[in-house]
Amino acid sequence: MAKANAAKKSSPSKSTAKTQAAQYHNFINGQWVPAASGATFENRNPADTRDLVGTFADSAAEDVDRAVAAAREAYPSWRLYPAPKRAELVFKVADILVRRKDEISRDMTREMGKVLKETGGDTQEAIDMAYFVAGEGRRLYGHTTTSELKNKFAMSVRDSVGVCGLITPWNFPIAIPSWKILPAILAGNTVVIKPAEDTPLSVVNFVKAFEEAGLPAGVVNMVTGFGATAGAPLIKHPTVRVVSFTGSTATGRVISTETAALGKRCSLEMGGKNCIIVMDDANLDLAVEGALWGAFGTSGQRCTASSRMIVHKKVVKKFTAALAERAKGLRVGPGLDLKNEVGPVINQKQMEKILGYIEIGKTKDKAKLMSGGERLTEGDLKHGYFIAPTVFGDVAPNAVIAQEEIFGPVTSVITCDSFENAIEIANGVEYGLSASIYTADVNRAFTAMRDLQTGICYVNAPTIGAEVHLPFGGTKGTGNGHREGGIEAFEIFTEWKSLYIDYSGVLQKAQIED
């Protein structure tokens, strides 16, 4: 029972809670149920840890077993329910999210911290995904093709896989769950999701939309809790056929090894060290504007955040000064206050990690601090995890802060000598998620699109801003070859089945001559 009421995000004493917090349960087989042990954990507002958002089920293997059993039970009939009918339910989910968008976004800002405009975008992404995926209910195309034999017909179709275990992070609390749950169930699978322990309320809100839409019990199940106690039993459960994970590289690698040993399908979406290249012919104002949004939107806590600026030596001074000036002008504060532009970071541990990198930047890397570089504690900000938007100049391409994922409001400006040098620096990291180039030269733009080793490339726009109908994911250390979003998302959640229909009336043998 040591974990009962384990505090999360900080260690404020319980008596500081402003109001009686709501209690939230797991969603298993269409019912809201507490953890079998009765244990709960707290979810606090990272902008003000005196604000207790709610308590949530601190689930363990027993709860995961129940949720997986419900998903297994629901699977045979859901699989046979026609895909266009499944799609109708997904359309309903989209409509419910549209209606509840403001309320869902407010809850999200309260538990995650990013400003309301951005949580509105997060919810909108789930809505877009729902409409997009629902359209696939009348497609899910396979191929019809020829046969090498006479009077024989051949085609391929997609089939569902079974029970999917979904593990999601806190930075896109509803968008990322939507990338996983929606294509999985549209394809005829059933799911158990374990949301991040920092942002369970957003997934509770999402699950309520499935409940209201009238999905059969057991198709979507949710267990809240921590990685080691709720996530690990889910990914290892023998009934779970597919694991889809988004989160840190360290955890992703563990999950990759464990699922491989158990022979499961696994899609991984992990870190990034994304760059914006700014050439000497770029529209500099546009590049600064993009850099500001790419580096400091969501307090830099996006896997696609622009954490490196690779800037041509002819314009680097001007660019860095302008970016630092704009960074200093950003209004940092609680995301529920509409005048603020940058919210807190997610929790104490993350804040300390980011401040640690800032220290490395100043000392070991000997970079030039141009803006920020500290925690903000003025007035009520001291109750949250606020870090001033930080720009480092004169950063070496191989500096620690230019190589490792910081996941916070910190960006490094690196000087390049030429276009070729910029591409070399851009590719000189272990990750390959997103990259961008600002240039007016169409030849450079196309060469960059060809040579940047990332899954996503932008021209004259920052590294963030993916749309749901295009594949999302990265190369190298970012992932394991899978993509979310787009129809490519169905590759992980479906099996291909090849069908041969012989109407010749005789035994025909492929590849064998009579």
Return residues touching ligand ADP (CB under 6 A): 167-169, 194, 196-197, 226-228, 231-232, 235, 247-248, 251, 254-255
How far is the C-alpha of 277 from the C-alpha of 275, rounded, in Å?
A: 6
CB of 166 to ligand ADP, least distance (A): 9
**In the complex, least distance from residue 167 CB atom to ligand ADP, rounded to whole angstroms:** 5
Task: Compute the distance between CA of residue 29 and CA of residue 242 in angstroms, rounded to an integer.
Answer: 19
Q: Toward ligand ADP, which CB reaches closer, 255 or 425? A: 255
**Which of residues 393 and 477 has its CB atom nearest to ligand ADP in the complex?**
477
Q: 424: which 2 tokens?
A: 């070399």
Query: Distance between CA 303 and CA 175 in Å, rounded?
Result: 13
Q: CB 507: neighbour CB atoms within 10 A?
A: 6
Q: Which is nearer to ligand ADP, 132 or 170 (CB)?
A: 170
> What is the separation of C-alpha 210 from the centre of its chain, rounded to a whole number of angstroms?
20
**Closest CB to ligand ADP among 105 and 168?**
168
Q: Which residue number, 271 or 372, has a Cβ lying nearer to ligand ADP?
A: 271
Tell me whether residue 222 or residue 278 sits nearer to ligand ADP (CB atom). 222
Copy the structure tokens of residue 304: 């696609």
Please report, in angstroms and rounded to a whole number, the separation of the first and last CA atoms in the chain: 72
Q: Dihedral (C-alpha) 104, 109, 112, 117: value to the nearest 10 degrees?
A: 100
Least spacing, CB of residue 444 vs ligand ADP, in Å: 35
Nearer to ligand ADP, 231 or 335 (CB): 231
Q: Which of 278, 296, 295 is nearest to 287 (CA)?
A: 278
- With beta carbons less than 8 A apart as the criterion, state whether 380 and 437 touch: no
Least distance from ligand ADP to the Cβ atom of residue 170, Å: 6
Between CA 398 and CA 284 the distance in angstroms is 25
Q: Round to whole Å and give the CA distance between 70 and 29.
A: 5
Q: Cα 393 to chain center, whole Å?
A: 29
How far apart CA 278 and CA 98 sit, in angstroms, is 38
Q: Distance between CA atoms of 371 and 139, rounded to whole angstroms? A: 51
Q: Angle at CA 258, nearest 5°, toward 254 and 259?
A: 115
Min separation Cβ 199 and ligand ADP, Å: 9
Amino acid at 342: V
Where do the DSSP E strands lie in 247-297?
A: 265-269, 274-278
Catalytic residue positions, numbered: 269, 303
Angle at 192 between CA 188 and CA 193, to 5 degrees: 115
Kindly write down the DSSP assignment for every residue of 51-108, as one continuous string: SEEEEEE---HHHHHHHHHHHHHHHHHHHHS-HHHHHHHHHHHHHHHHHTHHHHHHHH
User: If you count DSSP H runs as helices and E runs as strands, how many of each does the chain have, helices first?
Assistant: 15, 24
Between 175 and 414, name the residue whose CB sits nearer to ligand ADP. Answer: 175
Q: Provide, rounded to whole angstroms, the least separation between the CB of residue 284 and ligand ADP.
A: 34
